[in-house]
Amino acid sequence: MDARSINAKLRRGQVPTAEELRWFAQGLADGGVSDAQAGAFAMAVCMGGLGAQGRADLTVAMRDSGDVLTWDVDGPVIDKHSTGGVGDSVSLVLAPALAEMGAYVPMISGRGLGHTGGTLDKLESIPGVTTQISEDRLAQILRETGAAIVGATGQIAPADKRLYAIRDVTATVESLDLITASILSKKLAASPDALVLDVKVGSGAFMKTHEDARNLAQALTQTANAAGCRTSAVITDMNQPLAPALGNALEICEVMKAMTNGRNTPLAEISAELGGVLLVDAGMCATLDEGREKLAEIIRSGRAAERFGRMMAAVGAPLHFVDNWSRYLPEASVILEVPAPSTGYVTAMDGEALGLAVVALGGGRQVESDVIDPAVGISNIVRLGDKLDKGAPLAVIHAAREDAAQQAAQAVLQAISLGPDSPSLPGIVHERITA
């Protein structure tokens, strides 16, 4: 068996066998496959596809190219993945809420990608927090607190790490088969009993149309279930930021507000929706309504916040962070309101443009080596349908320099549209695709 014969098979429109894909994934992980061969493989898959069975076989092969974690716990192990959006900090609310229900939640999360913020970057805006820990320490934290949100070690799906870097420079990132295998190989390496996928659609998501989002959701759920993990997906709206703030520390502020102010917010609503699906799939609740209501109460009551504090303390946060969180989070030196240029209703938002404005402020990475400024971002962002008078604030810029704040303000003005008529607003949940 060799890479040339596998690539030749793909070129002829044939799908490699599970054994061949397992060999190729191992070659990606240990260097037995060259960059040129990996690039040819990615292009062939991008052009011809693998089909449902081939996609599942590649996913399992990439999962098994490194460590597959096991857990010694007394409850179901469950997890969630989002395809990426803006103002999306659901994991930070959902993980502690699920742990309060008696589930165990080992979330292996990532850094910012493109215009979307990264869960690990947000957590590391809390002083002292480190998200790169050993597998043994992860298991210990999981037993002690019920949930942990950490970065992947080098031994989790190493084939994916290698192939993703090659896809990035060979214009093959968009392949549905390769996207599916990339996402699920890492998630399934954590051995969850149930998984829910939050597939975002809209201006702030990677998937701009419902058709594209639905195709991805179906591919992910079919593949994960074929690999033996009970999985459902929820297609959710990303035509505006989920929370009214973008930027690492600013999004932690919104997370803490969602878990401590006792009021329902879109962030809390989506967390309860996704968690309800998970609880049904894991056999912990009989119906979605039951699971959703229990999680909403856990979030509303402050119990999720208390659990979050224990999770964060286990990875280095101040012991009393939850009691006085605003004291600990970094603040930007320049604060600038962006006034509405006219009277009208908020009719549309370019979420991707807002996310890129935060990256330009220093809140994300333009190259891998960039150092993030956790304090910068955009807060107090208006919502679709809001009626504003001329001069009322559209948003508030948090920047390190005055010139950067002015540039971000111009980006906000271009990204948020005002009109004379109230818009038709989409629901926050577009569709559920169950296991």
The residues carrying an active-site annotation are: 79-82, 119, 167, 182, 186-187
| Spatial distance between the Cα atoms of 153 and 162, rounded to a whole number of angstroms | 14
The pair of three-digit structure tokens given for residue 249, joined into one six-digit string: 């520390």
| Spatial distance between the Cα atoms of 193 and 231, rounded to a whole number of angstroms | 9
φ/ψ (deg, to 5) at 14: -100, 150
Note the Cα 23 to chain centre separation in Å.
30
3-state DSSP call for residue 321? Answer: coil
C-alpha angle 407-267-393 in degrees, rounded to nearest 5: 35
β-pairing, 194-201 vs 230-237, is parallel
CB of 79 closer than 8 Å to CB of 52? no
β-pairing, 387-388 vs 230-237, is unpaired
Q: How far, CA to CA in Å, does 355 sit from each of 95, 265, 339, 366, 380?
A: 24, 21, 19, 12, 14
Q: Find all residues with CB under 8 Å of 144, minimum gap 6, and list them.
A: 310, 314
> Judging by beta carbons within 10 Å of its beta carbon (0-12, 13-18, 19+), is residue 171 exposed, middle or buried?
exposed
Q: Find all residues with CB under 8 Å of 84, minimum gap 6, and list them.
A: 113, 114, 116, 200, 205, 206
3-state DSSP call for residue 334? Answer: strand
| Spatial distance between the Cα atoms of 321 and 259, rounded to a whole number of angstroms | 13
CB of 352 closer than 8 Å to CB of 207? no
> Judging by beta carbons within 10 Å of its beta carbon (0-12, 13-18, 19+), is residue 24 exposed, middle or buried?
buried
The pair of three-digit structure tokens given for residue 236, joined into one six-digit string: 């959710």
Convert 124-160 to b/e letters by CB count within 10 Å (16 or more is b): bbbeebebebeeeebbebbeebbbbbbbbbeebbbbb
| Spatial distance between the Cα atoms of 245 and 238, rounded to a whole number of angstroms | 14
Q: What is the torsional sign of CA 392, 348, 176, 432? A: positive
